[in-house]
Structure 1
Amino acid sequence: MALKIYNTQTRRLEPFIPLQPGKATMYCCGVTVYDYCHLGHARSYIVWDMVRRYLQWRGYEVTYVQNFTDIDDKILHRAQQEGVSMADISERFIKAYFADIRPLNVMDADEYPRVTDNISGIQQLIQILLDKNYAYVVDGDVYFNVQAFAEYGKLSGRTQSMMKAGASGRVALRDPETIKKKHPSDFALWKSAKLGEPAWDSPWGKGRPGWHIECSAMVRALLGETIDIHGGGSDLVFPHHENEIAQSEAANGKPLAKYWLHNGMVTVNGEKMSKSLGNFTTIRELLNRPLDPMVIRLFVLQAHYRKPLDFTEEAINSAVNSWKTLKQGLLFGKKLGWKKDQKLDFTVIEKFKTAMDDDFNSPGGLAVLFELAKNLRREGNLFTHEGKTDTGVEELQQQWQTLVHLAGVLGLEAKTEANITDAKGFDEAEIIRLIQERNEARKVKDYAKSDRIREQLQQMGISLIDRPNGETSIVR
């Protein structure tokens, strides 16, 4: 089965065929660095990390770029409030981004371009659009002429008649003088300098970039004129990604991306997450509960990436319990001193691949993982209580190694060992290990060691009864 992904632009599942065989280029819109990252950011970057990891597992060489928007009205406003520079605010929250996102096991991007480091490339792209008559200058501002680009609206499905004044997103907040525009939907590529704001020299006068042109320029500079995958939240489909397409394709005469992927939004108890509603939750707040970072990652991956994700206390508690099950399975062999030698169950791997090939269906992939984890838990309990298992040791080792391998594809790792205890507080895995060690000692007739282990277990409240048929029963 070939990997199929849902393309927002075509509104259908399509087989993934990259521009270059064996390689994949990805660009995902990064954060505007004026505040701490919230759960919506966590979802987005966990999702794209999962996509990247899966493509790599499928054998693709992935180049992943994620930008930082380090100049923006919100950054400037916060800098003015605190009496510091825009650069101070940006640097603080870029560091905060890494401090918050890395515990979630999100791999670093190959490149993290910043807008302020790409002013020259932005200006070059704007000039190309002016030369091709896709843009015009008014009083030091440069606007993209939406009516000049016949395919405008092909991503969002919006027609010109549906566009309203102010549809250019953030730009409208800074540019109420819509009378300057030829059409209400035209959006700023370059904004003339305002008193007290950072500005750069340009052929059109001092100013700074509009929001949308930034990503177009950075994609072009780092990945080329056409990339394989462009990702972002569904709230970016319009206007941001629609405008990116218009700018890039008007300038380059080529598609900006073969596949457009968008993750669903996070809601809180069914309502949109926002500061005004008081239901805004940062990654930092969740981790400080304290909450195992893998619980957050699992919570995100338990929903298909395109679906809405509702954050409730019940949902988080459920993820906590689910992670306990999965973690117990991931640590099963490690606590028994097993070494990973990559003896994998390829039947199980095919089930996982079939699920994930269907538009990165992480809930389906997780179902395969939980089947393995629950079986390992059942076999461990059986061994502890009855001194035997229904499954041979080699097969259990294979199941454990397959679980660890596939969990890694989803970025789920049990990095810190927590005791898995029974009702009396004993480490269940330690009990299993001791019983296994005693059984091995009995096989080689090392009865002194066997007796020492029996006594050790008795001190833990575990009594062993050796049966005539060679089996050992356990009494607690």
Structure 2
Amino acid sequence: MRAWTSPDPGTPPARGPAVRVFDSSTRALRDVTPADGPARMYVCGITPYDATHMGHAATYVAFDLLNRAWRSAGHDVRYVQNVTDVDDPLLERADATGQDWVELAERETQLFRTDMEALRVLAPEAYVGAVEAIPLIVPMIEDLQQAGSVYDVDGDLYFSVTRDPAFGEVSGWTREQMLEVFADRGGDPERAGKKDPLDCLVWQHERPGEPAWDSSFGRGRPGWHVECSAIARHHLGAAIDVQGGGSDLVFPHHEMSASEAQVVDPDSRFAQAYVHAGMVGLDGEKMSKSKGNLVLVSKLREAGLDPMVIRLVLLGHHYRSDWEWDEADVSAAGARLEKWRSAVAKGAGAPTAAVVTDVLAALAEDLDAPTALRLIDHWADATDFGDDTEPGAGEVIRRLVDAALGIAV
């Protein structure tokens, strides 16, 4: 599957420091400097049954900041993202609307690409659909079978979570906490025949009227969690630097994906750090496709809103925070963008050395974009108030906000 067209990531005016992010599994900041080679990041992608909303956009802009912070620190980055282009929500939406599920997935994936391009999110090196990954997923399930961690329930195959001694370390949740949400997040704890209510589906045998593919264990389709495990292991190896996604993926998705990978590769911790973006709400509830309380990137763009204003709204909230979409933030972000562009256009401006250092340091310390924005604000204010002591200051700031923040001024 093709990704979107990536913008030129640019080069900041100075090298940034080593990057630290909050690791959900240890609940502490963690240095994610790669041990050798490129930094390796896997971020869970969309299930394409509806358009990109602000919750999606916030997540992918957050990990775009990490991508850029690594690059600013001098690292190459190998970034992989999936598309769950066959799954129950997609099939259910297609059936409810009378659409072909393949056409629905292709249309919404293309809309997602155009939204990411508009927001200047750096494209992944590998953008992989679940359907095209089936030749990777089947061998991984076979490996799990050989490890004695897969069993059959009426033709469906389940992963035995207790086979991974580290199960539970990603979320840190108790068994009771897991059981409280498992059914609402795609699990089936009440299914008869399972060895453990928390065991997760890795292969669903063919159902009438649903898509299916051949495998050594019969026709069917893969489960959600093993999809990401297989794609990440194939493209990034047994141990990656960052597994990322929204905070609603901590359990079960990231917990299960990690355990499946660790059973196949028992000598490797799946990810050095598990990094999660907060939830975006509207009218007091988390923004989600199932609830329909969505602010869509595409609709804002169609209404003429500059995508850089959208990106500045997102950057104005720390990536780990939960927050509510507010039109007042849009007005403030528009004014901020106008102020930055005016100051940069002056050419000469206030001194930039400390600004560059402090902005890169803020982003390297758990992707603190709100602090970075305020630092650029201070420079723009000083420049607008008449400080023109540094020739070419505008170009320095333009390069900085382009490379580090993804904002085109």
Normalised by the length of structure 1, the TM-score is 0.78
The answer to whether the aligner puts 1:363 opposite 2:385 as a matched pair is no
Matching residue within 57, 60, 70 for 2:85: 70
Match of 1:349 in 2: 356
Partner deviation per Cα, 1:408-447 (whole Å, 9 max, x = no partner): 1100102xxxxxxxxxxxxxxxxxxxxxxxxxxxxxxxxx
The answer to whether the aligner puts 1:228 opposite 2:241 as a matched pair is yes
Contact 1:369–1:406, Cα closer than 8 Å, also in 2: no
Pair 267,232 (structure 1): closer, same or farther in 2 beyond 3 Å: same
CA distance in 2, matches of 1:308, 1:171: 22
Match of 1:206 in 2: 219
> What is the CA-CA distance between 1:278 and the residue it aligns to?
5.5
Q: 3-state DSSP class of the match of 1:66?
A: strand
Structure 1 unaligned residues grouped into runs of 5+: 339-343, 380-389, 415-476
Pair 277,94 (structure 1): closer, same or farther in 2 beyond 3 Å: closer
Match of 1:58 in 2: 73
Number of aligned residue pairs: 390
CA distance in 1, matches of 2:283, 2:89: 27
Match of 1:287 in 2: 301
Matching residue within 319, 327, 347 for 2:333: 319
Match of 2:205 in 1: 192
Structure number with higher relative contact order (C-alpha < 8 Å, ≥ 6 residues apart): 2
CA distance in 2, matches of 1:276, 1:218: 26
Match of 1:181 in 2: 194
Q: 3-state DSSP class of the match of 1:349?
A: helix
Matching residue within 310, 329, 341 for 1:296: 310
> What is the CA-CA distance between 1:233 and the residue it aligns to?
0.4
> What is the CA-CA distance between 1:319 and the residue it aligns to?
1.5
CA distance in 1, matches of 2:327, 2:236: 41
Contact 1:168–1:185, Cα closer than 8 Å, also in 2: no
The answer to whether the aligner puts 1:411 opposite 2:373 as a matched pair is no
Matching residue within 377, 380, 391 for 2:384: 377
Letter in 1 for 2:375: V
For 1:103-122, list aligned pairs within 5 A. 103-122=118-137
Pair 354,84 (structure 1): closer, same or farther in 2 beyond 3 Å: closer
Pair 31,347 (structure 1): closer, same or farther in 2 beyond 3 Å: same
Q: 3-state DSSP class of the match of 1:48?
A: helix
Letter in 1 for 2:108: F
Letter in 1 for 2:408: E
Structure 2 unaligned residues grouped into runs of 5+: 1-16
Q: 3-state DSSP class of the match of 1:133?
A: coil
Match of 1:467 in 2: none
Pair 106,165 (structure 1): closer, same or farther in 2 beyond 3 Å: closer
> What is the CA-CA distance between 1:64 and the residue it aligns to?
0.9
Letter in 1 for 2:388: T
Contact 1:264–1:305, Cα closer than 8 Å, also in 2: yes
Letter in 1 for 2:231: M
Partner deviation per Cα, 1:327-367 (whole Å, 9 max, x = no partner): 2223333xx9x9xxxxx943332222222221111111112
Match of 1:426 in 2: none
Matching residue within 1, 9, 16 for 2:32: 16
Pair 315,347 (structure 1): closer, same or farther in 2 beyond 3 Å: closer
For 1:239-258, list aligned pairs within 5 A. 239-253=252-266, 254-258=268-272
CA distance in 2, matches of 1:238, 1:177: 18
The answer to whether the aligner puts 1:400 opposite 2:394 as a matched pair is yes
Normalised by the length of structure 2, the TM-score is 0.90
The answer to whether the aligner puts 1:43 opposite 2:47 as a matched pair is no
